[in-house]
């Protein structure tokens, strides 16, 4: 294994679930770079962890957040699920396990896709060029997923939260507040809490978010059913022009969970918490332009047909009979949510779901106009 290129090691991991290749990659390949040092994956992740702690002003929250982000990101690039015989019994017995397992092949597979595209554009590349490029790709991928892991921690802590983009000192910083809190009330609260003079924008942002967490999120008792009113009337929630994809995902998840009993049996089997994570994952992948039906279906233990009916990306393609397939359930709900607010239509464009939304609204007699 010592003399196999890094790209070939990753190919062995993805295509053959080769544990020796994974061990070589993790234990011996110093593919990451920081402070003029070459580092192993675990060492580089520790640098990210410590760097986050040094920059944060909320010590209590940051320690938990940094630990969670480190552990989850490490799992994403090290956990290779045990292979079992593909019998019907094993498929059923491992159904729940598959939903919760992190599989490093999904993340290394994304690296392979990027590298294959790079090789097509650089047919005369050298071995050194390839090794340097894959190091760069891996480092960016790990940093990206460390940040996504951090966001997942915050999502779990701040369930059903809306992103508010606050302008200060010619900069825009994100603050998160509960979905059930009226936007006008939050803005008034923010006006009273913000500092008159801001020396360090990031420090002020962290201070304010800590105050928001303490005032609205900590010890918040909130069942998923509490959002039925919001789900049935999403237009009741005032949303600013700066609402981002993550807020849209939470709104749509709330809508779906608010009508949980109406869902198809295969989707209901996931349970409400897992369904929420599935919807958030779908919108995350759409916004990151890495949406793949089969990958998400596999991660959540769903059959291809079940996922296709729920949130498939090829529903508009012509079938063999020449007729278009029916629009998946999630995109129906997304259109209903978005139809209540023009701002959300703009956000849908950012999320990558406008094709579905435009078609649905057109069929219902409402044209979507880009102004």
Please state, rounded to an integer, the average pLDDT across all residues of the chain.
76
Q: Are 41 and 32 a contacting pair, CB within 8 Å? A: yes
Q: Residue 38 — very low, low, confident or very high, per pLDDT cuts 50/70/90?
A: very high
Q: Domain locations in the chain?
A: 6-155, 158-222, 223-371
Give pTM, 2 decimals. 0.49
Residue of 327 and 240 predicted with greater confidence: 327
95-133 pLDDT tens trace = 433 444 689 999 999 999 999 999 999 999 999 999 999
14-42 mean pLDDT: 95
Higher pLDDT, 103 or 54: 103
pLDDT given for residue 160 in this prediction: 64
Residue 236 has pLDDT above 70, yes or no: no
pLDDT > 70? residue 223: no
Cβ contact 156:217 at 8 Å: no
Q: What is the mean pLDDT of residues 305-326?
A: 67
| Interatomic CA distance for residues 221 and 218, integer angstroms | 9
Q: For position 225, what pLDDT does the model report? A: 40
| pLDDT band of 15, cuts 50, 70, 90 | very high
Residues with Cβ within 8 Å of 310's Cβ and at least 6 positions away in sequence, in order, are: 264, 267, 302, 328, 329, 330
Q: What phi, psi does 167 have (nearest 5°)?
A: -95, 125
Higher-pLDDT residue of 257, 131: 131
pLDDT of 226 reads: 39
Q: Would you place residue 300 in the very low, low, confident or very high pLDDT band (cuts 50, 70, 90)?
A: confident
Mean pLDDT score, 271-288: 80
Among the ranges 60-64, 100-104, 141-145, 232-236, which has the highest mean pLDDT value? 141-145
pLDDT of residue 109: 93
Whether the pLDDT of residue 234 is over 50: the answer is no
pLDDT band with cut points at 50, 70 and 90 for residue 197: confident
Q: What is the pLDDT of residue 249?
A: 72
More confident residue, 323 or 23: 23
């Amino acid at each position: 294994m010592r003399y196999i290129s890094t790209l070939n090691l990753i190919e062995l991991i993805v295509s053959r679930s080769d544990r020796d290749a994974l061990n070589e990659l993790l234990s011996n390949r110093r593919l990451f770079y920081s402070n003029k040092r070459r580092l192993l994956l675990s060492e580089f992740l520790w640098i990210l962890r410590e760097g986050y702690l040094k920059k944060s002003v909320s010590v209590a929250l940051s320690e938990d957040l940094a630990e969670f982000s480190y552990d989850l990101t490490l799992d994403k690039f090290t956990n290779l699920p045990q292979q079992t015989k593909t019998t019907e019994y094993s498929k059923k017995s491992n159904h729940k396990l598959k939903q919760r397992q992190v599989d490093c092949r999904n993340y290394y597979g994304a690296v392979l896709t990027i590298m294959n595209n790079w090789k097509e554009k650089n047919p005369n590349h050298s071995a050194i060029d390839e090794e340097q490029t894959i190091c760069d790709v891996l480092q960016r991928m790990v940093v990206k997923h460390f940040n996504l892991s951090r966001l997942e921690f915050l999502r779990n802590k701040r369930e059903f939260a809306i992103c508010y983009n606050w302008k200060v000192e010619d900069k825009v910083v994100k603050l998160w507040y509960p979905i059930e809190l009226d936007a006008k009330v939050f803005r008034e609260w923010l006006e009273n809490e913000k500092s008159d003079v801001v020396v360090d924008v990031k420090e002020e942002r962290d201070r304010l978010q800590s105050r928001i967490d303490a005032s609205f999120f900590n010890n918040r008792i909130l069942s998923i059913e509490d959002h039925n009113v919001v789900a049935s009337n999403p237009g009741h929630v005032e949303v600013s022009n700066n609402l981002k994809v993550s807020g849209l995902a939470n709104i749509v998840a709330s809508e779906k969970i608010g009508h949980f009993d109406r869902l198809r049996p295969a989707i209901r089997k996931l349970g409400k918490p897992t369904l929420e994570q599935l919807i958030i994952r779908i919108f995350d992948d759409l916004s990151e332009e890495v949406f793949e039906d089969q990958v998400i279906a596999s991660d959540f233990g769903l059959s291809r047909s079940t996922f296709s009916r729920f949130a498939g990306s090829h529903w508009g393609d012509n079938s063999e009979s020449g007729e278009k397939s029916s629009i998946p359930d999630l995109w129906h709900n997304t259109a209903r949510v978005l139809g209540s607010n023009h701002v959300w239509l703009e956000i849908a464009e950012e999320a990558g779901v406008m094709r579905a939304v435009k078609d649905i609204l057109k069929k219902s007699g409402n044209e979507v106009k880009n102004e």
